[in-house]
Structure 1
Amino acid sequence: MSNIVIIGSGPAGVSAALYAARAGVQTTVLTKGPGALDRAELIQNYYGFAEPITGAELERRGIEGAKAVGVEFVTTEAVGLTYTDKLTVETLAGDFPADAVILATGASRAAPRIPGLAGLEGHGVSYCATCDAFFYRGRDVAVLGSGEYALHEVQALLPVAHSVTLLTGGAPLTAQFPPAVAVRTEAVEAILGEERVTGVQLKDGGTLEVSGVFVALGVAGSTALARKLGAEVNGSRIVVDDHMQTSLPGLYAAGDCTGGLLQVAKAVYEGAVAGTEAAKALRK
């Protein structure tokens, strides 16, 4: 039986799940818990509610409705997205292979404004250790991050690179890193290099000489996961067509991660399209 894995349990992800499950497709939602909607105190402009409703209650009702039509919810953190014989979401709870994946984790809030970072993408700055580790055999590299997502990238690099340094930028460590990894806690002021990355400028005035910088800040959001497969992104926005499909067949995105109006109504609409179109594509 075909299956769809949806990353994110906000209005876009749950709406996608409702439509996919009702179309007869086995549907799993991966959630790391309450999202941005949960933190909305009162929603007063949503269709069908004469009285204001809390974001937490609207989120709860949405999830209950999806469970009622057979959607499975798994609480875990997504840390990677790969494609071998089929799309696979890598999480802290193991791998979830899927015939289609819908990215719906909301807007990315971890886009660092570090001079040199954007300009050196593809020239030493990478968003996918699994994809690019091979190119850094025997070289010194750095990973920007401090949590499980960064640990996932570190583990892909350690067997290949000469050395791996974790740059936390002052954020506290929220994962257990291997002793082979050097940890630097200073703020990162710039990524250095003309044609290619040559190093990182740290706030204390020191320079760390590295050939590669892997970005893994916070939790892996939709845009970060899309980048791992080479799907087209524009800044922090995932580029999608009218079917909410990314530039890669089988990979869809919906909600705040596609840009535009950051509203529940827009997220629900895009989720509905993504769930419907993904299910339709699997029936062909």
Structure 2
Amino acid sequence: MTATHSTRMLILGSGPAGLSAAIYGARAGLAPIVVQGIQPGGQLTTTTDVENYPGFREVIQGPWLMEQMQAQAEHVGAQMMWDMIVDVDLSQRPFRLTGDGGTVYVCDTLVIATGAQARWLGLDSETRLRGQGVSACATCDGFFYRGKKVAVIGGGNTAVEEALYLTNHSHDVTLIHRRDTLRAEKILQERLFKHPGIKVLWSKEVAEFVGGEGNQGLVALDLRDTKSGEISRLEVDGGFVAIGHHPATELFVGKLDHDGDGYLRVKPGTSYTNIPGVFACGDVADKVYRQAITAAGTGCMAALDAERFLAEQDFEESEAA
């Protein structure tokens, strides 16, 4: 028989946002269930050194941090489910969701913390050197390249913003774009072109990320001219892929409001979506900051919003009775 789980709070996603929501929800006595999804622990499980999460003087490891968050959530009463949701019915409360094995989840409130993934170029060398000189987050990893030579790949707002940010750490930043014009906003382009520490390579694409001997990591980029096909080499210590992010919102297309990039819309200053009882937090609703600490903060917001929503519903029901 198909298993059915009922809960006052169901949380989709087990990154910093989902687990923070679980901690606050459990402490409020809501006995939340966390459906961990396709990548338990979220993006931090693919990160090695974490140096900007408050509370730790020394560098910590991303997977370790997520293990501690999950252990804390379970300790205060959250239940973890190894499952992936494939169908969602938000037409009425309680909401009804179905996992890929047929398990049914019935919930009074739903917290969506499914996150977003950085878009990558798809090169084998990129995958091999990820975390060893190849990154998709300058804010996260730029600090490790103080005084070193770095490159940013992309031509939109994200790429220009990352290049400008990296000048806080590096005096030699190269922006690589496969076209001969940028897609970024004009004001960002003006700042980029005026900055003495940034140069732009036009009509170039990365053919390969070049690693050094042994454990040396990234040492260069092999670039292909998109017009002539000619290959050239650029020596760098760090390569930042900045071609955008893809929020995990496919399940909610046509069911919840999205913006033009697929991120869930929330009421400003809250985690409320357009459906009462459904809340969104973390990178699934944040296209600007995308940090573990901001995700954790909005996870807390989602749990508190859900708790207040349930309290109001309970009060209205008792008054009606």
**Both proteins in one fold, TM over 0.5:** yes
Cα root mean square deviation, aligned:
2.2
TM (normalized to structure 2)? 0.51
* C-alpha distance 102-50 of structure 1, shift in aligned 2 (>3 A): same
Q: 2:293 aligns with which of 256, 265, 269?
A: 265
- State the secondary structure of the residue aligned to 2:56: coil
**Map of 1:34-45 to 2, 5 A cutoff?**
34-45=41-52
Residue 84 of structure 1 deviates from its aligned partner by 4.4
* Residue identity in the other structure for 2:297: Y
Give the corresponding residue for 1:52: 59
Q: Point out 4+ residue stretches in structure 1 off by more than 3 angstroms.
A: none
* Residue identity in the other structure for 2:310: L
**Map of 1:76-225 to 2, 5 A cutoff?**
76-86=83-93, 87-93=95-101, 94-107=103-116, 222-225=248-251
- State the secondary structure of the residue aligned to 1:9: coil
- State the secondary structure of the residue aligned to 1:225: helix
Residue 82 of structure 1 deviates from its aligned partner by 0.7
- State the secondary structure of the residue aligned to 1:26: coil
Residue 21 of structure 1 deviates from its aligned partner by 1.2
Give the corresponding residue for 1:143: none
* Residue identity in the other structure for 2:262: S
TM (normalized to structure 1)? 0.58
- State the secondary structure of the residue aligned to 1:99: strand
* C-alpha distance 7-100 of structure 1, shift in aligned 2 (>3 A): same
* Residue identity in the other structure for 1:56: P
Higher relative contact order, chain-length normalized (CA < 8 Å, sep 6+): 1
* C-alpha distance 282-76 of structure 1, shift in aligned 2 (>3 A): same
- State the secondary structure of the residue aligned to 2:60: coil
| Alpha carbons 1:103, 1:222 under 8 Å: kept | no
Give the corresponding residue for 1:253: 280
* Residue identity in the other structure for 1:105: T
Gaps of 5+ in 2: 1-5, 120-245, 313-321
CA distance in 2, matches of 1:223, 1:54: 28
* Residue identity in the other structure for 2:57: A
- State the secondary structure of the residue aligned to 2:273: coil
Q: 1:5 aligns with which of 10, 31, 37?
A: 10
Aligned length: 176
Q: Which has the larger radius of gyration?
A: 2
* Residue identity in the other structure for 1:252: F
| Alpha carbons 1:227, 1:233 under 8 Å: kept | no
- State the secondary structure of the residue aligned to 2:266: coil
Residue 2 of structure 1 deviates from its aligned partner by 5.9
How many percent identity over aligned positions? 29
Q: Does 1:31 align with 2:41?
A: no
